[in-house]
Chain A
């Protein structure tokens, strides 16, 4: 009963700290539970989609070529494949929307399959029935709808074998294998009539291509096959399945594009994983901040309430009971926060789900990740209980005799740092004295601010690194001003003329000519870039570039994944041809999410990789790139595609820019909220502790305005120290953090863009909040009367 009475009194008396802790915990719980739930919901949604659409472990797109029968026979005998399904497809590289926008993705059409997941009108779920496709109608994947803001009823036009076909978009569907906006390949559905017509019309084109070209490129053909392969061993990894099928059949290296379920999942979830990982790390540090605040709060309370605690002890209330009261109060605050947080996590989860839905092109459920959330919440509670036990050990030092006589230890501690109090810097020196004589109080605040500054600076650095062309270039991320892709042999002849057009406007500082294809290394499928001049390969990490035609390099990620080391001899296969190569180095490259290899164009010829038709230009003055683009695309429309990027508007890797911006906003928002709440709590406690001194200073003749300014300047000073500490931490650990994050994209080594702005803006935001809110909080100084010093 006495515990209940004491608890009620304590909560009534310390409403501020109760609410603050509840609010902090509510924020952490809400975001943690929603992040965990969103991750679970997407994973569940992807699993359900795989199950509903009967997604194979491996999907191969291959040209309809004569040797296909032979390959399929081998597949029949392949132990790794349980069974496979084969269907006709029409490949497409030229498509535009009725508003003129080109759709760059490589796409393919097929006829309606079973169990297509057609989206409902507001893209929140699925239609019960798949609408029947009539001639002239298509079903478009949700990923394309998101990227190009397509609507039902929009018209798209495709070009196949020199003929144009227009279609109306009937509906959109969720496609779990190729659906993510991070995956360049897209699958679409057209009616049987349209499919037959285009197939028939393009057959002659394909035959001519096969006979005429030296090395016909897979993407140039119209007709092809989709082979869905189901694994015989559900535990076998996607890469292993591909390797075994390649070794048994050569089907992988002969295909246009193979994709396994595992890789598809990685591409789909990479952005969400990146954002949620950053947010979860940030949240765990925010919880450390909450623990610091609770610890600080308990220690201060034990000092402020020394007398009351002593009297309670004198009355026979045991230390255990006092600990229990403190424990119950903080646990009640935390549990209140958790309950509010879980309730808030429901709508927050929906918002986050919608956000990630636009990145993954997956429609998630909106469930709560109960099991994981309970584990996290229990961990939070256990950590708090442990902390409270540790902090309340000081209860044993409270002496009832001392408390009753009012001669308990002073709030202040002596300090070895005793800077003199000077007339000219009176306020400053008094502030320093206050800080150095109650270090624990300010060290806690400083530490909290340093953690928050560290995150804010880092997110600025990440943002600025992503916008630094030089850094990204050194990291192996190619960001050319102009890219010209040759479409046919005529295009190669006209390239010099096109370059002359560029030179009419500006100098070309650097030109890269390369090709990219999918190959297999020792049976493992991997992206491959072949360079006309291998010395131009960027992002080297170890070893040297592949100068000779029997050499290749691969990304460190691929090397680690496939167990290939520098000096190893590997077999690289493409389109049915194989050759041996020596691995001369590791590099980093974002191509195919970091899983790629590179070689010289001469090396590429050994396995039939054709001429390099990708040309990237770094130009001196990019202000005229749009004019250059217009002229070249008009003049050479049939023979080359030109793409320009204006980096003056900032560089962002499309896959991760949203993630970075989202993380930046979240981290800034929560940092400021945490700074305000913790600062208010600590400031409030500081005020209680200093109330007596404030009265003395007033009696000496200090004005309210001066005392208020001093008070907030002291917090500003602590915030600046915390900010500087956070900046030092950033200088020490930003590179590691950045590398850890970029590793998900396949970049192993990246130098952070340490700009003054990254530090100044974070410190400014934190310090301004601290100064502002401590000044607002200092208004209570006005209420302190000198009369309080007088005993009646």
Chain B
């Protein structure tokens, strides 16, 4: 078993809605191993995005703990969480969320500049390298509005990993992309994972889920199923798809 990087214990989240308590997450226990590609699946409203916020410290759980490298995220101050986001966590969103008045290069570099330990020239070199590896060197001086959705999402991935974070949290990264762009983005993520990057992704896209080596199925705020897979290989995608489909069918997907 690899080292644990993130562990949730008895994690619960509930909201008060019209005077009634709605339990979105209910006593969840889970772990994320270092270097793993974990995907959380589930029907709409199952609480998968809420789980992602809670695990990444974006949102406070009502009860339970989220332990990251021995520290309980639920007890950290806003500034400590900001520091974690600067160095240890990277985020990829469905809507990309690039800063619209910065170029693609600047969107990536600004995140890098926040790490005081790395020199400006090193950040620039790394940002150029990342953009180059993601096929964005031609458009790196363009504004987000001037490039395609796929290019934007690839830039968002570069931004998420510029500080070589311990974990990348991805929330439906292919949700607003077409098929061709989705494959490009998923290839990027798989490539990163192959190099040892831990990824925790929420998706309801089966093609995206195939990239995982571990699948969690969330139903009504509880983890109702887990599927361990071998490391992703493009050549056995069809058999992998059958295996995942069967697993999902068993969970009433």
A residues adjacent to B (C-beta < 8 A) = 410-412, 414-415, 421-424, 426, 430, 433-434, 437-438, 692-693, 695-705, 785-787, 789-792
Chain B residues with CB under 8 A of A701: 82-87, 111, 114
Is the Cβ of B97 less than 8 Å from the Cβ of A698? Answer: no
Min CB–CB distance A44 → chain B (angstroms)? 59
Check A696 against B98 for contact (C-beta < 8 Å).
yes
Q: How large is the interface on B (under 10, 10 to 19, 20 to 34, 35 or more residues)?
A: 35 or more
- The stretch of B28-36, B100-108, B212-220, B236-244 in contact with A is B100-108
What is the chain A residue whose CB lies nearest that of B79? A703
Taking CB atoms, residues of chain B closer than 8 Å to A412 are 100-101
Q: A673: shortest Cβ distance to chain B, in Å? A: 32
Decide: B94 and A790 in contact? CB cutoff 8 A.
yes
- Closest B residue to A413 using CB positions: B101
- CA A415 – CA B101 in complex, angstroms? 9
Measured CB to CB, the closest approach of chain B to A514, in angstroms, equals: 69
The residue from A410, A415, A697, A698 contacting B100, defined by CB atoms under 8 A apart = A410
In the A-B complex, the 10 residue pairs with the smallest Cβ-Cβ separation, listed nearest first, are: A701-B86, A423-B120, A437-B101, A701-B85, A423-B113, A703-B82, A412-B101, A786-B58, A700-B111, A412-B100
Q: Is the CB of A426 within 8 A of B97?
A: no
How many angstroms between the C-alpha atoms of A401 and B158 in the bound complex?
Answer: 32
Q: Is B120 touching A700 in the complex (CB atoms < 8 A)?
A: no
> In whole angstroms, what is the CA distance A697 to B98 when docked?
9
Interface string of B107-126 (1 = CB under 8 A from A): 00111011000011001000
In the assembled complex, the CB of B100 is this many whole angstroms from the nearest CB of chain A, namely 5
- Which B residues lie within 8 Å of A430 (CB)? 110
Structural contact, A698 and B91, CB atoms closer than 8 A: no
Which single residue of chain B is at the shortest CB-CB distance from A415?
Answer: B101
Q: Which of A437, A438, A790 contacts B53 (CB 8 A)?
A: A790
- A414 CB to closest chain B CB (Å) equals 6
Q: List B contacts of A785 (CB < 8 A).
A: 58-59
| CB <8 Å contact, B97 and A695 | yes
| Cross-chain contact B114 with A700 (CB below 8 angstroms) | yes
B78 in the interface (beta carbon within 8 A): yes
A700 near B85: Cβ-Cβ < 8 Å: yes
Q: Which residues of B contact A703 (CB under 8 A)?
A: 78-79, 82
Q: Could you pull out 23 A-B pairs where Cβ atoms are within 8 angstroms? A: A414-B143, A421-B109, A422-B113, A423-B113, A695-B97, A696-B98, A697-B99, A698-B82, A698-B85, A699-B93, A699-B97, A701-B83, A701-B87, A702-B114, A704-B78, A705-B79, A785-B58, A785-B59, A786-B91, A787-B59, A790-B49, A790-B93, A790-B94
Residues of chain A within 8 A (CB-CB) of B91 are 699, 786
Give every chain B residue within 8 A of A410 (Cβ-Cβ): 100, 145
B96 to chain A, nearest CB (A): 10
User: Could you tell me which residues of chain B, from 155 to 192, have a CB within 8 Å of some CB in chain A?
Assistant: 159, 171-172, 175
CB within 8 Å for A700 and B49 given contacts A421-B102, A437-B101, A692-B97: no
Task: Write out, one digit per residue, whether chain B residues 58-87 have a CB within 8 A of any chain A CB (1) or not (0).
Answer: 110000000000000000001100111111
Q: How far is the CA of A696 from the CA of B95 in the complex (A)?
A: 11
Q: Which partner residue on chain B sits nearest A792 by CB separation?
A: B49
**Which one, A422, A787, A791, contacts B58 given CB within 8 A?**
A787
- Contacts A785-B58, A785-B59, A790-B94 known; 18 new A-B pairs at CB < 8 A: A421-B109, A421-B113, A422-B113, A423-B123, A426-B114, A430-B110, A438-B101, A696-B97, A699-B85, A699-B91, A700-B86, A701-B83, A703-B79, A704-B78, A786-B91, A790-B49, A790-B93, A791-B95
From B45, B78, B99, give the contact of A696 (CB < 8 A): B99
Residues on B with beta carbons closer than 8 Å to the beta carbon of A789: 93, 95, 97
Query: What is the chain B residue whose CB lies nearest that of A414?
Result: B143
In the complex the two chains form, what is the Cα distance from A140 to B111 in whole Å?
80
Interchain CA distance A789-B169 in the complex, whole Å? 13
Closest-CB distance, B250 to chain A (whole angstroms): 26
- B89: shortest Cβ distance to chain A, in Å? 8
A705 to B82, CA, bound (A): 11
**Residues of chain B within 8 A of A423, CB atoms compared:** 113, 119-120, 123
Residues in chain B near residue A426, CB distance under 8 A: 110, 113-114
When the two chains form the complex, which single residue of A437, A700, A705 contacts B159, counting CB atoms closer than 8 Å? A700
- When distances are taken between beta carbons in the complex, the residues of chain B under 8 Å from A699 are 85, 91, 93, 97
Residues in chain B near residue A415, CB distance under 8 A: 101
**B120 with A693: CB separation less than 8 A:** no
Nearest CB to that of A701 among chain B residues?
B86
Question: Can you name the residue of chain B whose Cβ is closest to the Cβ of A411?
Answer: B100
Q: Tell me which residues across on chain B come within 8 A of A695, comparing CB atoms.
A: 97
List B contacts of A437 (CB < 8 A). Answer: 101
Q: How far is the CB of A697 from chain B (nearest CB, A)?
A: 7
Closest A residue to B47 by CB, please name it.
Answer: A792
Q: Indicate if the CB atoms of B100 and A693 lie closer than 8 Å.
A: yes
- Contact of A700 with B101 in the complex, beta carbons under 8 Å: no
Taking the closest CB of chain A, its distance from the CB of B194, in whole angstroms, is 25
B109 (CB) vs chain A CBs: closest residue: A421
Supposing A692-B97, A791-B172 touch, asked if A700 and B110 sit within 8 A by C-beta, the answer is yes
Nearest CB to that of B101 among chain A residues?
A437
Q: Which of chain B's residues have a CB closer than 8 A to the CB of A792?
A: 44-45, 49
Q: Which of B49, B85, B106, B175 contacts A421 (CB 8 A)?
A: B106
Measured CA separation A612–B174 after assembly (Å) = 99
